[in-house]
Amino acid sequence: MRRLSRRAAAATAVLITSALSLTGCGAPGEAGGSDSASGKVEGQVTFQTWNLKTHFKKYFDGVIADFEKKYPDAQVKWVDQPAEGYPEKLSADAAGGTLPDVVNVSPDLAYPLAKAGLALNLEKAAGKYRGEYLEAAWQSHGMPGLQGVYAFPWYLNTGPMFYNKDLFRKAGLDPDKPPTTYDQLFRDAVAMAQKSGRKIAMLASTPSIEDFGRYGVRLMNAQGTAFTFNEPRGVDLLQHYKELYAAGALDSQALTAQAESAGRKFEQQSVAMNPGSALDLGNFKKDAPSLYKNIGITDAVNNTGKANMYVQGLMVNAQSKVKPAAVTFAHFVTDRQNQMAFAKQVTIFPSTKGSLDDPYFTEEDGTDATRVRVASAKSLKTAVNYTPVLLSDQMKTVLRNAVAKAVQGKQSPKAALDDAVAECTRLLKTG
């Protein structure tokens, strides 16, 4: 009898535990938050950035000091997270209910947070500021299937392309005329591989979703309910990459390359072109001086005439206890004056109206850096964010695996992309 009761107690414990888990007690999706942000600007605002403290501590300390001076009843606690594992950090904070009040996000990171009710709808809470920003930038944090906008647009970029002038010269290519379209890129890449005896590859990685976008491939249907990157242009792009791989114009480790390993190949000068950011220039100067002497900077290759726009935003936590202060601070950081000051620290572009017409972004001084800055600022006026916000990390992996299979010849480009589209659309529908 006693043994039976012990068993019963154990079974009850298991059932209760399972039931608690199944009901998902305390899941963030259930928590609601008001969209109102009116009230006094007071209290401590936690502000989280994404890998910015190392290089820009002084700038942010200044912005925070200015804010606290303007709003004496508010204080800002700044935390910075490393680049690696940022989505995991956000998901842990969101699930644990410890999401900071103001969070640095990109649109694809903001989407699941907005869907779970954790991002404040700024169309309602801060709609009065809308006119201060470029319309495309403001809309970039609008989410398919959700009404509103879920982050203040912050800094923009087009992502420059670095190339090695010396390797271009040795391959008989004009170092002052890097490829600007995909057709030119494919032609130059094959020439580079042939001239170097397959020792120098033009590119270190396989095409990402942005490449498909820049190539002119339609990525999703108009309703945002299905992916469409298996259309003929997508298949054509993949076929070209397959040929590049076979010709040795794509690095042999391109199928598993990460940003870090691709950058290393470029620094080793075994790869002639690689995308990067303005911060990379400093690294080249320090780590690869011989490369730095021969560095060329150009825009990313493009068939559409519309550059890719990388957008960073500042999201306000819908469950924040200091919403008025959080909204005011997020707006303060992203206002024209502070964005302009940030743009002078590093090559980023403000998302505020009129900023790109500042002489800083329109006048060249004869150096490569200003030439690219002026060209990028000009292209940003018509740029689009090619990465669909609905494309999750798992879907990106699906696409990447499909590309690898096609490039290796294990599947035809058409079959690989058909499978990838079917799987991504299935994941989209089950999400």
Partner 1 sequence: MARQTALEGRRVTGPRGFPASRTARPFRGSRGIRRQLTVTPWLFLAPGLLIVGGFSLYPFLSTVAHSFTDARTLTAGRFVGGANYQELVHDALFWTGLRNSLLYVLGAVPLLVVLPLLLALLVQRQIPGIAFFRAAFYTPVVASVVVVGLVWVWLLDDRGLINALLEAVGFGRVGFLGDPWLLLLSAMAVTVWKGLGYYMIIYLAALADVPRELHEACAVDGAGPVRRFLTVTVPAVRSTMVLVAALSSVNAFKVFSEVYLMAGPTGGPGGEDTTLVMLVRQVGTGLSGRVGYASALSVVVFVLTLGLMLLVLRAQRREDG
Contact between 340 and partner 1 (CB under 8 A)?
no
- State the first-to-last Cα distance of the chain, in angstroms, to the nearest integer: 48
Instruction: Name which of 296, 192, 298 is nearest 251 in CA terms.
Output: 192
CA distances to 17, 22, 97, 124, 185 from 249, in Å: 56, 52, 48, 51, 10
Contact between 24 and partner 1 (CB under 8 A)?
yes
Closer to partner 1 by Cβ: residue 260 or 365: 260
- One residue of 17, 290, 337, 362 binding partner 1 per CB under 8 A: 17
Q: Smallest distance, Å, CB 6 to partner 1?
A: 13
Contact between 255 and partner 1 (CB under 8 A)?
yes
Contact between 118 and partner 1 (CB under 8 A)?
yes
Contact between 431 and partner 1 (CB under 8 A)?
yes
Token pair belonging to 34: 């008001």
Closer to partner 1 by Cβ: residue 145 or 431: 431
- One residue of 8, 11, 14, 279 binding partner 1 per CB under 8 A: 14
User: What CA–CA distance (Å, rounded) separates 186 from 127?
Assistant: 45
Token pair belonging to 324: 């008025």
CA distances to 111, 144, 160, 214, 381 from 309, in Å: 17, 18, 11, 11, 10
Supply the DSSP string of 59-99, one letter for each residue. Answer: HHHHHHHHHHHHSTTEEEEEEEE-STTHHHHHHHHHHHT--
* DSSP structural state of residue 113: H
Q: Smallest distance, Å, CB 76 to partner 1?
A: 25
Contact between 242 and partner 1 (CB under 8 A)?
no
Token pair belonging to 18: 């399972």
Contact between 270 and partner 1 (CB under 8 A)?
yes
Q: Where are the beta strands (DSSP E) in 292-398?
A: 295-298, 310-316
Closer to partner 1 by Cβ: residue 43 or 224: 224
Closer to partner 1 by Cβ: residue 43 or 87: 87
Site for partner 1 in 370-409 (CB under 8 A): 392-394, 397, 400-402, 404-405, 408
**Cβ–Cβ under 8 Å, residues 315 and 149:** no
- One residue of 9, 27, 79, 83 binding partner 1 per CB under 8 A: 27
User: What CA–CA distance (Å, rounded) separates 402 from 384?
Assistant: 25
For residue 317, list its beta bridge partners.
119
Q: Smallest distance, Å, CB 308 to partner 1?
A: 22
Closer to partner 1 by Cβ: residue 101 or 251: 251
Site for partner 1 in 126-165 (CB under 8 A): none
By the 10 Å C-beta count (0-12 exposed, 13-18 middle, 19+ buried), 394 is classed as: exposed
Q: Smallest distance, Å, CB 417 to partner 1?
A: 13
Contact between 30 and partner 1 (CB under 8 A)?
yes
Q: φ, ψ for residue 72 (rounded to 5)?
A: -60, -20
Of 49-57, 217-225, 254-262, 286-294, the segment contacting partner 1 by CB under 8 A is 254-262
Binding residue count for partner 1, defined by CB under 8 A? 48
Gyration radius (Cα) of the chain, Å: 24
Give residue for tokens 């309910």.
Answer: 225
Of 23-31, 35-43, 157-165, 347-355, the segment contacting partner 1 by CB under 8 A is 23-31
Contact between 331 and partner 1 (CB under 8 A)?
no
Give residue for tokens 């740029």.
Answer: 383
Q: How remote is the C-alpha of 15 from its chain's centroid? A: 43
Q: Smallest distance, Å, CB 375 to partner 1?
A: 33
Contact between 287 and partner 1 (CB under 8 A)?
no
Q: Smallest distance, Å, CB 117 to partner 1?
A: 9
- One residue of 5, 38, 223, 430 binding partner 1 per CB under 8 A: 430
Per-residue binding letters, 164-193, with partner 1 (x by CB under 8 A):
------------------------------
**Cβ–Cβ under 8 Å, residues 332 and 325:** no
* AA letter at 379: S
- One residue of 18, 34, 44, 337 binding partner 1 per CB under 8 A: 18
User: What CA–CA distance (Å, rounded) separates 395 from 33?
Assistant: 29
Contact between 412 and partner 1 (CB under 8 A)?
no
* DSSP structural state of residue 356: G
Which spans of this chain sit near partner 1 (rule: CB under 8 A)? Answer: 14, 17-19, 21-24, 27-30, 87-88, 90-91, 94-95, 109, 111-113, 115-116, 118, 251-253, 255-258, 261, 268, 270, 392-394, 397, 400-402, 404-405, 408, 410, 430-431
